[in-house]
A and B are shown apart, each in its own frame.
Chain A
């Protein structure tokens, strides 16, 4: 007699039989499993009583002796258990929420000078604003703030298109910015654009053909090009227009440092002059609170070249 047959003799079968000798055991459920099952049934009944559970007509059972109290404008409200009230309560009286709130109030009351001078507030700002920067800013400016060449400005260098003081950074965050340079592909011919590109590179001490640069300067500072309206006749750029400083060797749109040859560098500048630029920094007012904007302002200021 084989092992299997011995076992078959020990327990009941369902009585079904296939192919003459294929049968099915009918073992009782393990006791621990069965009691576990009864326990879930008991749990469910208790849950029905305590928590919102059963629909009744246009409403539902709200749960017994299980309320949440939260505050709206200083007035206490009590309601049956629900996750929305639970969230409000946690935001108002939760341990970490309160700790954060205390710091937030301290930051809200302080001036930018005070925050920048106070090690503890600065540490809080770095910790909290890092998360906010990751959620809201890093998608464009990168998690470290280095930006993307040609698309989104680098925030860790010393160059600021719209100004690097805390007030200017705050304005940029609050109202957003619309960076615009017209396309000169139609108003200037290829030769003129080529000359302007020579002049632009000469501003940042590139060795270019002097005659071409001279001709480019006349277009740059004349009515033909009119570049000086925004970039100034020295090429240092107007912060009010978000116009880049062309003399500081820091490039945000034309990838000049990425090109090895002078021709490559010229082509990069020509491409920008020809096609223009249109870039948008979204406005964060309304999406972030004033205090959050304040924290991010300090954070961005501290990333690198805050002025």
Chain B
């Protein structure tokens, strides 16, 4: 077929683009698509829920500031990583992340299980000037997080957008009930789009993540997000080797 001769592809830009896309999509079809159908991809595990409205805003700020460029959120199943960071990451733990924050570069440490590791005060001091708490740190300072008021008027829309991507935030009574059954009452309240704004304010006031009760800052949201990372699964519930069964 002269149509597919080297020369005719090379001199015909439209054909070259079309065939390039065909070749690339074969890689995607073979490597990615089967994962949607293979049963064991996402481990069956208790406790993983979508982010609360405040945590979600924190995650947006995490992305806005480009934290993922230096911090991964993916503990690989190696002995040295386990000794340093804890249990390896599960696919189930990022099932509600769109996009996931696995990252591919560790200039700073992995953050997949940073939740609960440091106090809120530490995070606040560390964001304002990392050198105050870690003298050898090369992380940039993010002082504006403490100055900027948190914008949360659009948090319901942000949740609706994620809902379209398959994250089970609830809008109707049925969806809410389904969440109660799946995640429990406490978590279902966090996922209710209709009460998102009130819940966000209440969570920030109760948690007082930035140490300043008079204001709701971006620091509140980011620290709330960091403090929940990797804490949803209680690994003591599962026998050693449980998660090997899923591979």
Contact = CB atoms under 8 A, between A and B. Distances in A.
Do A and B come from the same complex?
Answer: yes
A31 interface: no
B239 to A, nearest CB: 6
Nearest to B30: A55
A185 interface: no
B31 to A, nearest CB: 9
Contacts of B147: none
A138 B122 CA distance: 12
A122 interface: no
Given A84-B77, A87-B77, A90-B79, A139 B122 contact: yes
A58 B82 contact: no
A135 interface: yes
A210 B35 CA distance: 78
A72 B40 CA distance: 20
B100 interface: no
A87 B79 contact: yes
How big is the A interface, by class? 35 or more
A79 B244 contact: yes
Interface of B: 7, 30, 34-35, 37-40, 76-79, 82-86, 88, 116-122, 125-126, 132-136, 211, 236, 239-241, 243-244, 247
A86 B247 CA distance: 11
A286 B37 contact: no
A140 interface: yes
A282 interface: yes
Given A58-B37, A59-B38, A280 B120 contact: yes
A151 B121 contact: yes
Contacts of A84: 77, 88, 243-244, 247
Contacts of A281: 119
Interface string A20-32: 0000000000000
A285 B19 CA distance: 57
Contacts of A16: 7
State the main secondary structure of chain A at its contact with B: mixed
Given A55-B34, A72-B239, A85-B244, 4 more contacts: A139-B117, A140-B118, A280-B119, A282-B119
A123 to B, nearest CB: 19
A77 B241 contact: yes
B132 A148 contact: yes
A242 interface: no
A94 B78 CA distance: 12
A142 B241 contact: no
Contacts of A287: 86, 116-117
B118 A139 contact: yes
B39 A88 contact: no
Nearest to A59: B38
B236 A286 contact: yes
24 contacts: A55-B30, A55-B37, A60-B34, A70-B241, A72-B239, A77-B244, A83-B77, A84-B88, A86-B77, A87-B77, A87-B78, A87-B82, A90-B79, A91-B79, A91-B82, A131-B83, A139-B118, A148-B125, A148-B132, A151-B122, A278-B121, A282-B116, A282-B119, A287-B117
A253 to B, nearest CB: 13
A254 B121 CA distance: 17
B46 to A, nearest CB: 16
A58 B30 CA distance: 13
Nearest to A143: B136
A12 B225 CA distance: 63
A260 B125 CA distance: 25
B24 to A, nearest CB: 18
Given A58-B39, A59-B39, A139-B134, A88 B244 contact: yes
Contacts of B116: 282, 287
Contacts of A73: 239-240
Given A143-B136, A152-B133, A136 B78 contact: no
